């Protein structure tokens, strides 16, 4: 068959077999591709020219809305001036500036910033920091981590070992040793409750039980997402996070908050830690850190943890033996600084906080639809659970495809739809999102 014959018979497809898509049913995608070619503000445009409202901030990361010119300009200027500086033993001005700006935003006392390239790497880095801290203080026996059912901490082996979602673990062997899981906080008693549920603070006592069972002297850290994100916006019960903090303090266990989704205004303040009034010892970030215009993650570290590791190392030696080729890369640092400027200038965290009641009213207004089994939400983040149909997750998957065809992008996880609009959203956008959700839920 010559070339002319091929082009007459079939239109060459943009979607080819070479690219193996992450967390995607690839074969299904190739049959029904959903291609995005452009974005601006609250909207995507598909390759068919359809306008699609973004109800998940991409993947919970484009908090300042899409295609922000200020960020693109900052990255372009940075790459023209300095494209890369070896991050081990060499510095550049942007990384110090960005770390200083971030440390102002993070909860009090979390003043030291370590840069990574993703949320998964931030989690691995946080785990190493916890281990290094205890070793520095002569408590090297503390190697265990306490995580939680339904947790998502990315896909590297640290995060997979902490994971509390079976599909993230089941194909990948036993993972790191010494990781135990508390029960999750998704309780039937908190069904359809908006914000923090009244029931379940006592689930934090699972941590005490692990202390009794394994000995505090063996436990390095307790790692939780303040709101479990990827497993369906599980808002903590009232008092739960405070209780975890108290138990950690009583037993010398570090508390790590994974704020990869909850950071940068999603909960109505800079971090969920501020919203819930609980400060961890180590905090992981990514996503909204650069408004997703550049890949980047970060870890914020308390004075106590930082100083112990620094002080234990001999003068002239590397204090924390860890780092990535692209740690603190100039381009994402420039993107991050421009992103923080936008958050500040446009008051986006306050704006999200002000819009939250309207947003939650709209989402909880879907409760009467027969296929909806539960709704949860806090700040500008909510989940709508659908009754499964066939295998778990099939209905959720069909739902997000149909939504896209109806002009709305969101992320589903299993049979839950996760709704987290950019913080630039206005009431009219929330109305559009609610309308498309209602229309699609009626036929799914």
Ligand X SMILES: Cc1ncc(COP(=O)(O)O)c(C=O)c1O
**Total site size for ligand X, rule CB under 6 A:** 14
Taking CB under 6 A as the rule, does residue 260 contact ligand X?
yes
Taking CB under 6 A as the rule, does residue 150 contact ligand X?
no
Which tokens in the block code for residue 65?
């809305």
Residue recorded with tokens 């659908």: 386
Taking CB under 6 A as the rule, does residue 149 contact ligand X?
no
CA 251 distance to own-chain centroid: 28
The least distance separating ligand X from the CB of residue 267, rounded to whole angstroms, comes to 13
The least distance separating ligand X from the CB of residue 366, rounded to whole angstroms, comes to 23
The least distance separating ligand X from the CB of residue 243, rounded to whole angstroms, comes to 21
Is-contact 391 287, C-beta < 8 A?
no
Name which of 65 and 288 has its Cβ closer to ligand X.
288
CB burial of residue 174 (10 Å; 0-12, 13-18, 19+): exposed
Q: Which among 129-137, 253-261, 340-348, 430-438 is the span making contact with ligand X, rule CB under 6 A? A: 253-261
Binding flags for ligand X, 220-249, as an x/- string (CB under 6 A): -----x---xx-------------------
The least distance separating ligand X from the CB of residue 119, rounded to whole angstroms, comes to 2
The least distance separating ligand X from the CB of residue 259, rounded to whole angstroms, comes to 8
Q: Which among 118-126, 127-135, 181-189, 231-239 is the span making contact with ligand X, rule CB under 6 A? A: 118-126
Taking CB under 6 A as the rule, does residue 57 contact ligand X?
no
Q: Which of 102, 105, 123, 419 binds ligand X (CB under 6 A)?
A: 123
Residue recorded with tokens 């995608």: 29
The least distance separating ligand X from the CB of residue 11, rounded to whole angstroms, comes to 34
Taking CB under 6 A as the rule, does residue 290 contact ligand X?
no
The least distance separating ligand X from the CB of residue 117, rounded to whole angstroms, comes to 8
Taking CB under 6 A as the rule, does residue 300 contact ligand X?
no
Q: Which among 2-10, 196-204, 255-263, 415-423 is the span making contact with ligand X, rule CB under 6 A? A: 255-263
What does each C-alpha distance from 216 to 184, 210, 318, 416, 427 come to in angstroms? 21, 8, 29, 36, 49
Q: Which among 4-12, 40-48, 148-156, 418-426 is the span making contact with ligand X, rule CB under 6 A? A: 148-156
182 backbone φψ class: left, alpha, beta (φ>0; ψ -120 to 50): beta
Kindly report the three-state secondary structure assignment for every residue of the chain: CCHHHHHHHCCCCCCCCCCCCCCCCHHHHHHCCCCEEEEEECEEEECCCCEEEECCHHHHCCCCCECCHHHHHHHHHHHHHCCCCCCCCCCCHHHHHHHHHHHHHCCCCEEEEEEECCHHHHHHHHHHHHHHHHHHCCCCCCCEEEEECCCCCCCCHHHHHHCCCHHHCCCCCCCCCCEEEECCCCCHHHCCCCCCCCCCHHHHHHHHHHHHHHCHHHEEEEEECCCECCCCCECCCCCHHHHHHHHHHHHCCEEEEECCCCCCCCCCCCCHHHHHCCCCCEEEECHHHCCCCCCCEEEEEEHHHHHHHHHHCCCCCCCCCCCCCCCCCHHHHHHHHHHHHHHHHCCHHHHHHHHHHHHHHHHHCCCCCCCEEEEEEECCEEEEEECCCCCCCHHHHHHHHHHHHCCEECEEECCEEEECCCCCCCHHHHHHHHHHHHHHHCCC
Residue nearest to ligand X (CB): 119
Name which of 338 and 420 has its Cβ closer to ligand X.
420
The least distance separating ligand X from the CB of residue 176, rounded to whole angstroms, comes to 16
The least distance separating ligand X from the CB of residue 369, rounded to whole angstroms, comes to 27
Q: Which of 153, 266, 306, 353 binds ligand X (CB under 6 A)?
A: 153
Taking CB under 6 A as the rule, does residue 336 contact ligand X?
no
Q: Which of 115, 152, 257, 359 binds ligand X (CB under 6 A)?
A: 152
Name which of 165 and 372 has its Cβ closer to ligand X.
165
Q: Which of 154, 237, 280, 332 binds ligand X (CB under 6 A)?
A: 154
Taking CB under 6 A as the rule, does residue 258 contact ligand X?
yes
Is-contact 30 39, C-beta < 8 A?
no
Q: Which of 120, 190, 400, 440 binds ligand X (CB under 6 A)?
A: 120
Q: Which of 261, 375, 383, 430 binds ligand X (CB under 6 A)?
A: 261
Taking CB under 6 A as the rule, does residue 124 contact ligand X?
no
Q: Which of 42, 53, 216, 286 binds ligand X (CB under 6 A)?
A: 286
The least distance separating ligand X from the CB of residue 42, rounded to whole angstroms, comes to 21
Residues that bind ligand X (CB under 6 A): 118-120, 123, 152-154, 225, 229-230, 258, 260-261, 286
């Amino acid at each position: 068959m010559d070339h002319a014959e091929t082009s007459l018979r079939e239109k060459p497809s943009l979607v080819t077999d070479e690219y193996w898509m992450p967390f995607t049913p690839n074969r299904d995608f190739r049959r029904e591709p959903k291609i995005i070619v452009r974005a601006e503000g609250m909207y995507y445009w598909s390759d068919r020219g359809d306008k699609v409202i973004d109800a998940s901030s991409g993947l919970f990361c484009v908090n300042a809305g899409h295609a922000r010119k200020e960020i693109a300009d900052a990255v372009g200027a940075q790459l023209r001036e300095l494209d890369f500086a070896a991050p081990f033993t060499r510095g550049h001005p942007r990384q110090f500036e960005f770390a200083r700006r971030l440390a102002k935003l993070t909860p009090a006392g979390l003043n030291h910033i370590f840069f990574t390239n993703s949320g998964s790497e931030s989690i691995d880095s946080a785990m190493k920091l916890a281990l290094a801290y205890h070793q520095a203080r002569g408590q090297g026996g503390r190697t265990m981590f306490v995580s939680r059912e339904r947790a998502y901490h990315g896909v590297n082996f640290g995060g997979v070992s902490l994971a509390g979602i079976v599909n993230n673990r089941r194909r990948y062997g036993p993972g790191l040793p010494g990781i135990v899981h508390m029960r999750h906080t998704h309780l039937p008693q908190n069904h359809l409750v908006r914000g923090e549920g009244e029931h379940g603070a006592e689930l934090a006592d699972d941590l005490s039980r692990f202390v009794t069972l394994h000995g505090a002297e063996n436990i390095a850290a307790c790692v939780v997402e303040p709101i479990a994100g990827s497993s369906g916006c599980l808002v903590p019960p009232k008092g739960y996070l405070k209780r975890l903090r108290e138990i950690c303090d009583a037993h010398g266990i570090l508390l790590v908050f994974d704020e990869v989704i909850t950071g940068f205004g999603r909960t109505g303040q800079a971090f969920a830690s501020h919203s819930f009034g609980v400060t961890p010892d180590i905090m992981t970030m990514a996503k909204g850190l650069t408004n997703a215009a550049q890949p980047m993650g970060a870890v914020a570290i308390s004075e106590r943890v930082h100083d112990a590791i620094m002080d234990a190392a001999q003068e002239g030696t590397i204090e924390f033996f860890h780092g990535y080729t692209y740690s603190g890369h100039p381009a994402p640092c420039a993107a991050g600084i421009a992103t923080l400027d936008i958050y500040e200038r446009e008051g986006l965290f306050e704006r999200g906080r002000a819009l939250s009641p309207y947003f939650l009213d709209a989402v909880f207004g879907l409760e009467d639809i027969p296929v909806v089994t539960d709704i949860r939400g806090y700040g500008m983040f909510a989940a709508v659970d659908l009754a499964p149909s066939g295998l778990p997750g099939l209905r959720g998957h069909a739902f997000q495809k149909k939504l896209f065809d109806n002009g709305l992008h969101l992320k589903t996880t299993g049979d839950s739809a996760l709704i987290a609009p950019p913080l630039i959203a206005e009431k009219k956008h929330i109305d559009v999102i609610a309308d498309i959700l209602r229309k699609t839920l009626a036929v799914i």
